[in-house]
Amino acid sequence: MSREPINLTLPVERAILVSAPFKRSSAKHFVDEHLQELARLADTAGAQVVGTLTQQLDRPHPGTYLGSGKVEELKERIKELGATLVIFDDELSPAQGKNVELIVNTRVMDRAELILDIFATRARSNEARMQVELAQLEYLLPRLTRMWTHLEKMRGGIGMRGPGETQLETDRRLIQHRIRILKERLADVERAREVQRQGRHTHFRVALVGYTNAGKSSILRSMANDSDVFVEDRLFATLDPLTREVEVGDGYTVLLTDTVGFIRKLPHHLVASFRATLSEAREADLLLHVIDSSHPAWEEQRDVVDGVLNDLGLSERPLTYVMNKMDAISAEDASSVRERVANLMPNSLFVSALEPGGLDGLKATLLHSMRNQRPILEVHIPAANGRLIAEVHRDGEVLDQRADDDVIVLRARLDERTIGRLRQSGVRVIVTQGVTRSTSPNVAAVPLP
């Protein structure tokens, strides 16, 4: 007798999206864009959006976020549309989420929980999985009461006497213990990452930062000519930092790193957990803030990213704005974008990761930035020391060379690591242009005329 195969596929959640901007905030002007972004997040998480609900608020209701009448309307919409999930575009307090669930009798989640769920499904490396788990546990901790309201205190009796610890208290203690373990393990990962960064100290390091789906991975893939770089037209396609060596011209190479994308209302637990990953951006010599020029709300997205960079202490790092996806807009819109960017962010770049030659301007900028951050020096090396002369030619850019009796004088651009090695060898180094961090007495600074 044949048996029907068992279908283990989970039913698709039918979601209603809820947006409730404040009346006096700029968010009320972007309700449609914000709901579209929330819909993309829901789609990325595997949910089907069946409806939306909006309300402009003077202030959130302390118990239900929405007004009581709107909550009743939400309850009716759920019945009408057969929804199984409600997703709020704002972060709810534990009490607000619990109260709305009780009223509408349907699972409720907020934007932060949705983003955490997406990160959990897309984390690939062990580090990313630990970071997401840490963020989830820190989000969960204050919401345990909501999840365990069906449990009662352990009753006394034979074999049950003792401290009378509740299941809630047990779970809270276990979660706090797990959080400590994850933080210790991530600290170990960061120490290992620091060792790797030290090995790359001689390279000029560039980090791609920006809003999610702005095209950072496409830029890395094109510049590195590496088809293994994962690219997908979805939010948060990249969670782990990925570094490739990229040629920028005249024999120079830079280390280009793709970092996790940011998004509006990014959960603060997630930002804190990914600090180790984002330290790649903190150690970069230059940040490239990639912006999707084809997005109607690109200015808001730029402000979101700048705000996160400021929170991470990266606002003082050298930064260049890169307007990407110029191939995706019409000539008329491109002209408008260029004019707007010229007023807001002078010296920005306009690129396309998909068009042939669309990144040539970016490569030229990286080459120029790299040269500007490397001082020009005069290096006096005894002519008999061929090893050091060869090292300068190998690791630097020699602009000219002359003989002065038994000394070879090289005029070259050098990085700090090479300058340090020359200094330890007793070589006389004179800075003729630019700045070096070296404080050695063997490194003299010559004022420019």
What's the pLDDT at 161? Answer: 39
329, 361 contact by CB (below 8 A): no
Q: Distance between CA 145 and CA 367 in Å, rounded? A: 56
Q: Of 17-26, 37-46, 435-444, which gets the smallest average pLDDT?
A: 435-444
- The pTM for the full model equals 0.77
User: Residue 130: enclosing H or E segment and its boundaries?
Assistant: helix 126-140
**pLDDT > 70? residue 449:** no
- Is 445 among the annotated ligand-binding positions? no
- Is 22 among the annotated ligand-binding positions? no
Same domain, yes or no: 210 and 303: yes
What's the pLDDT at 194? Answer: 72
Domain membership of residue 206 (yes or no) is yes
- Is 404 among the annotated ligand-binding positions? no
What's the pLDDT at 422? Answer: 84
Domain membership of residue 157 (yes or no) is no
Number of domains in the chain: 3
Residue after which a domain boundary falls, among 371, 392, 418: 371
What's the pLDDT at 403? Answer: 87
Domain membership of residue 181 (yes or no) is no
353, 219 contact by CB (below 8 A): yes
What's the pLDDT at 99? Answer: 93
What's the pLDDT at 442? Answer: 44
Q: Of 13-27, 118-132, 226-240, which gets the smallest average pLDDT?
A: 226-240
pLDDT tens digit string along 306-316? 998 888 888 88
- Is 210 among the annotated ligand-binding positions? yes
**pLDDT > 60? residue 261:** yes
- Is 325 among the annotated ligand-binding positions? yes
What's the pLDDT at 155? Answer: 41
Mean of all residue pLDDT scores within the chain: 82
- Please report which confidence band the pLDDT of residue 439 belongs to, taking 50, 70 and 90 as the band edges: very low
> Which two three-digit tokens encode residue 68?
């009581």
- Please report which confidence band the pLDDT of residue 446 belongs to, taking 50, 70 and 90 as the band edges: very low
Same domain, yes or no: 291 and 362: yes
Compute the Cα dihedral for 255, 305, 33, 17 and give only its sign.
Answer: positive
- Please report which confidence band the pLDDT of residue 421 belongs to, taking 50, 70 and 90 as the band edges: confident
> Which two three-digit tokens encode residue 227?
């088809």
> Which percentage of the chain shows pLDDT scores above 70?
83
pLDDT tens digit string along 339-365? 999 999 999 999 999 999 999 999 999
pLDDT tens digit string along 99-111? 999 999 999 999 9
- Is 217 among the annotated ligand-binding positions? yes
- Is 139 among the annotated ligand-binding positions? no
Residue after which a domain boundary falls, among 371, 388, 413: 371
Same domain, yes or no: 82 and 27: yes
- Is 95 among the annotated ligand-binding positions? no
Domain membership of residue 175 (yes or no) is no
- Is 171 among the annotated ligand-binding positions? no
- Please report which confidence band the pLDDT of residue 124 belongs to, taking 50, 70 and 90 as the band edges: confident
- Is 438 among the annotated ligand-binding positions? no
Comparing CA positions, the residue from 366, 371, 376, 367 lying closest to residue 435 is 376
- Is 260 among the annotated ligand-binding positions? yes
Domain containing 407 — which CATH number? 3.30.70.240
- Is 64 among the annotated ligand-binding positions? no
Q: Distance between CA 156 and CA 149 in Å, rounded? A: 20
Domain membership of residue 132 (yes or no) is no
Same domain, yes or no: 301 and 245: yes
- Is 238 among the annotated ligand-binding positions? yes
In 3-state terms the chain splits into helix, strand, coil percentages (rounded to 5) of: 45, 20, 35
- Is 236 among the annotated ligand-binding positions? yes
Q: CA-CA distances (angstroms) from residue 136 to 118, 270, 272?
A: 11, 8, 12
Higher-confidence residue of 234 and 330: namely 330
- Is 337 among the annotated ligand-binding positions? no
Q: Give me the domain span that covers residue 39.
A: 14-118
**pLDDT > 90? residue 235:** no
Higher-confidence residue of 26 and 299: namely 299
Domain containing 66 — which CATH number? 3.40.50.11060
Same domain, yes or no: 354 and 253: yes
Same domain, yes or no: 431 and 282: no
Domain containing 235 — which CATH number? 3.40.50.300
What's the pLDDT at 4? Answer: 56
What's the pLDDT at 28? Answer: 67
- Is 240 among the annotated ligand-binding positions? yes
- Is 74 among the annotated ligand-binding positions? no
Same domain, yes or no: 217 and 325: yes
Mean pLDDT of 183-212: 80
Q: Which of 136-140, 248-252, 334-338 has the highest mean pLDDT?
A: 334-338
**pLDDT > 70? residue 190:** yes
> Which percentage of the chain shows pLDDT scores above 90?
37
**pLDDT > 90? residue 27:** no
Residue after which a domain boundary falls, among 65, 98, 118: 118
Domain membership of residue 367 (yes or no) is yes
What's the pLDDT at 154? Answer: 40
Same domain, yes or no: 330 and 427: no
Helices marked H in 28-110: 31-45, 68-81, 94-104
- Please report which confidence band the pLDDT of residue 398 belongs to, taking 50, 70 and 90 as the band edges: confident
Domain membership of residue 186 (yes or no) is no
Same domain, yes or no: 361 and 402: no
Same domain, yes or no: 238 and 347: yes
403 burial class (0-12, 13-18, 19+ CB within 10 angstroms)? exposed
Phi, psi of 178 (to 5 degrees): -65, -40
Same domain, yes or no: 362 and 414: no
What's the pLDDT at 158? Answer: 40
- Is 384 among the annotated ligand-binding positions? no
Same domain, yes or no: 348 and 429: no
- Is 259 among the annotated ligand-binding positions? yes
63 burial class (0-12, 13-18, 19+ CB within 10 angstroms)? middle
- Please report which confidence band the pLDDT of residue 397 belongs to, taking 50, 70 and 90 as the band edges: confident
Domain membership of residue 187 (yes or no) is no
Phi, psi of 56 (to 5 degrees): -90, 130
**pLDDT > 90? residue 374:** no
What's the pLDDT at 384? Answer: 86
Mean pLDDT of 379-384: 87
286, 320 contact by CB (below 8 A): yes
> Which two three-digit tokens encode residue 345?
């962010």
**pLDDT > 80? residue 180:** yes
